[in-house]
Structure 1
């Protein structure tokens, strides 16, 4: 009797191994196993046994609360977290200085183009053209809004000085202020940094 049971067990084991070795049959076995698990779960839920739904209710409630939240508020929270992480990583030496520009955009002339050409900053964050002046800024606004940076860095001035659009420094400053105002209206949460004009040598 024991011998017969052992032989039956051995033949069943061999059969299962053969099935597992065959990819097509193994797929069928896996499908049957998954179906059995699903049926067991469904029967457990419908059998009248109480299933703890507190965690599910909390999760649904949390998702609904997020739906009501203003996305700009959440974006600002994310930016603050990123800023703190970058500061800590820079102080510990984990990241280099160029990594600090991953939430900034750079606008400007050929000096700014250099940030992209030399792979210092990702090209999606550089809005610049050789020969550009501050009058180019409005053309970049839609692209900058799509990136939604925390910082906007302006590198203009060298071309502006000799192009003849402005008769006095005061006229230039007034127009520059207007351009900065346009940027601030389009991206009120971003900080605008104005680089000084490099002195001629």
Structure 2
């Protein structure tokens, strides 16, 4: 019997300590002002509600994205009709959207040989259209520019886009990554070898301003995809459907 009593002493002691700690905690909580306890409880519930709403929003966004992608793939969604309330600024590559009759001419604000400095040439036109979505696609001509004195490529690009937003303040901005030229084209014109460097600046610019960055890396396969005309720079007509799909899905996936 004595041995049994000794074995009971330790559990009893631990239980008593636990009860004492719990009592101290309860007394500590009771000692707090009632408003403080209530405020902490309300804040916790608010955080849980916000978390639940954010989780639901992300799930709904992902579902909508998947449904859109499936609809496009199955031909149930008219891809180019999704651009009815959009315009694209750009160079000769972007001009292909109107040259090959995918977009109305008036919605392609582009010039052959254009750089980001040409954006301000189209301010009156974009204000007249007042689109919901504005896409930008530059770079193939920009890599030969010397913009260090102006603060760098991303600074000049940002200033030009902000001019557009002054005319269309409610528009959603989406900026395409620069699609590289083929290795053969780069060998002839080494300035086109700066794609990764320039894209890093464009992506950072978008993140800083809350603009959507359209990553075209996968669809171009870093210049290895069978999408190029003989010059290794401009695109075949068939590529514009792939590019447009990547833009609209990138927009859907990243917009608020």
- Aligned partner of 2:86 in structure 1 is 104
CA distance in 2, matches of 1:157, 1:132: 9
- Aligned partner of 1:153 in structure 2 is 135
TM-score under structure 2 length normalisation: 0.41
Per-residue deviation, 1:200: 3.3
User: What is the number of residues matched between the two proteins?
Assistant: 114
CA distance in 1, matches of 2:73, 2:96: 26
- Aligned partner of 1:24 in structure 2 is none
CA distance in 1, matches of 2:117, 2:99: 23
CA distance in 1, matches of 2:154, 2:171: 21
CA distance in 2, matches of 1:183, 1:161: 22
Question: In angstroms, what is the RMSD of aligned CA positions?
Answer: 2.5
TM-score under structure 1 length normalisation: 0.51
Q: 1:181 to 1:133 in 2, by over 3 A?
A: same
- Aligned partner of 1:120 in structure 2 is 102
Q: After TM superposition, which residue ranges in structure 1, 4 or more long, deviate above 3 angstroms?
A: 89-95, 167-170
Does structure 1 residue 199 correspond to structure 2 residue 180?
yes
Per-residue deviation, 1:91: 9.3
1:1-201 maps to which residues of 2 (within 5 A)? Answer: 93-162=75-144, 164-167=145-148, 171-201=152-182
Per-residue deviation, 1:90: 6.0
SS in 2 for 1:135: helix
Per-residue deviation, 1:199: 2.2
| Structure number with higher relative contact order (C-alpha < 8 Å, ≥ 6 residues apart) | 2
SS in 2 for 1:183: helix
CA distance in 2, matches of 1:94, 1:148: 28
| 2:126 and 2:164 in contact (8 A); partners too | no
Q: 1:147 to 1:170 in 2, by over 3 A?
A: same
Greater Rg, structure 1 or structure 2? 1
